[in-house]
Homo-oligomer: A and B are copies of this chain.
């Protein structure tokens, strides 16, 4: 029997308590499968959601006790950037292997951490930072290692997916569903981190980095959220065979990268269109394996903690074998150029807000045509009301042209409400 591995935990919030629970409840299982146990040696946490679980463990008085010689792996589970970054860097300087669930940290300082880890010969696990219980980081970096990844298309925010699914099912407004989601705990009291796409952008920066071996940080991701989505959009999409989802997409084009988060019209046969509620789903398209898709709960104490424990086990096996080697941290992540999203071509859905009057459609059509944008389908909802939505689906057009046309239409025609236009791309 090999000797047990000792871990130290910084932070006993939702995820930290999940980790304690798994390591306690499934201790025998883990020991049987691994041949050794995982032992919680020290915990540092100002507050704890699970004090009752850990009376037997020693609370550290200072976080530096987590760097003691007898601790093999340190878990950073406090979230946030500044303190977490300082802590992780110090831990690595003290030759500690790290497991973290911190997407903000890795989307903004991942490369600093990787290079520090490579210098110090320690291993970094951050599976739990993206898509909770779905082991997408290991799938990409290990199972698809011999593949060139072509693109990633992903639903990585459960809150947004829940809201859009609920709007689709109940026909209720964004505001109504958001408030319901907050009440039921599916959305935060300040929901902007989720619904404005920031959370998704952090996760996509991480996924794009490991998929394309590229330096991608949060600031490199084009972000649009779902605040402007109306049931009208979802309903129109459905009638044309689409579903509306907040997608993260990363792909390369002529050796440049494009990473973005935005709502999309997705054909209803696409597997991503079929993933509803708080579930996450990541489709990876690669040269040898084709499309594979990974679906599961993107958040929650135990699913996320399960990914943390998988990382602990992964590093523990290396420690037992005598050689900790982090081929991921040792990779050279290349500085790549980014494609300007305005240069892309796609089909677009445009919702204009118009004052119902004779000639409004012809005015819109004229400007679109001037910018080489041809209309595939158009519907005006309602009549005679003050302001009504006018919905346009275009053939393939250049994004910069579409944006110019919208500006011109809004500027020159009194019957079209200024800044009232919503633009959603159609996924190829």
Contacts and interface: CB of A to CB of B under 8 A. Distances in A.
Interface of A: 18, 22-23, 25-26, 29-30, 32-35, 127, 133-135, 138-139, 142-148, 213, 269, 271, 274-276, 286-297, 300, 302-303, 305-307, 309-310, 313-314, 317-318, 320-323, 325, 327, 330-332
Contact of A288 (B142, B145, B305): B305
A138 B144 contact: no
Contacts of A143: 127, 135, 138, 307, 310
Contacts of A309: 146, 288
Given A148-B29, A310-B144, A288 B22 contact: yes
A288 B302 contact: yes
A145 B295 CA distance: 18
A4 to B, nearest CB: 15
A133 B292 contact: yes
A290 B295 contact: no
Copies in the complex: 2
B146 A26 contact: yes
A318 to B, nearest CB: 7
B306 A146 contact: yes
Given A303-B288, A323-B321, A142 B314 contact: yes
Nearest to A310: B143
A332 to B, nearest CB: 8
A238 to B, nearest CB: 15
Given A305-B288, A314-B142, A34 B327 contact: yes
A306 B317 CA distance: 24
Contacts of A303: 288-290
B294 A294 contact: yes
Contacts of A275: 271
From A32, A34, A145, A213, residue with most partner B Cβ within 10 Å: A145
Given A142-B310, A310-B145, A331-B33, A133 B296 contact: no
Contacts of A289: 133, 296-297, 302-303, 306
A32 B10 CA distance: 34
18 contacts: A30-B145, A32-B213, A33-B327, A134-B292, A135-B142, A135-B144, A147-B306, A271-B274, A271-B275, A286-B306, A288-B302, A288-B303, A289-B303, A290-B300, A292-B295, A294-B294, A321-B321, A321-B322
A321 B325 contact: yes
Contacts of A300: 290
Contact of A35 (B32, B144, B330): B330
Contact of A139 (B29, B135, B271, B323): B135
A221 to B, nearest CB: 24
Contacts of A213: 32-33
Contacts of A35: 327, 330
Given A274-B274, A275-B271, A310-B142, A147 B296 contact: no
A217 to B, nearest CB: 21
A146 B127 CA distance: 14
Contacts of A306: 144, 146-147, 286, 288-289
Contact of A302 (B290, B294, B322): B290
A286 B318 CA distance: 25
Contact of A290 (B271, B297, B314): B297
A10 B146 CA distance: 21
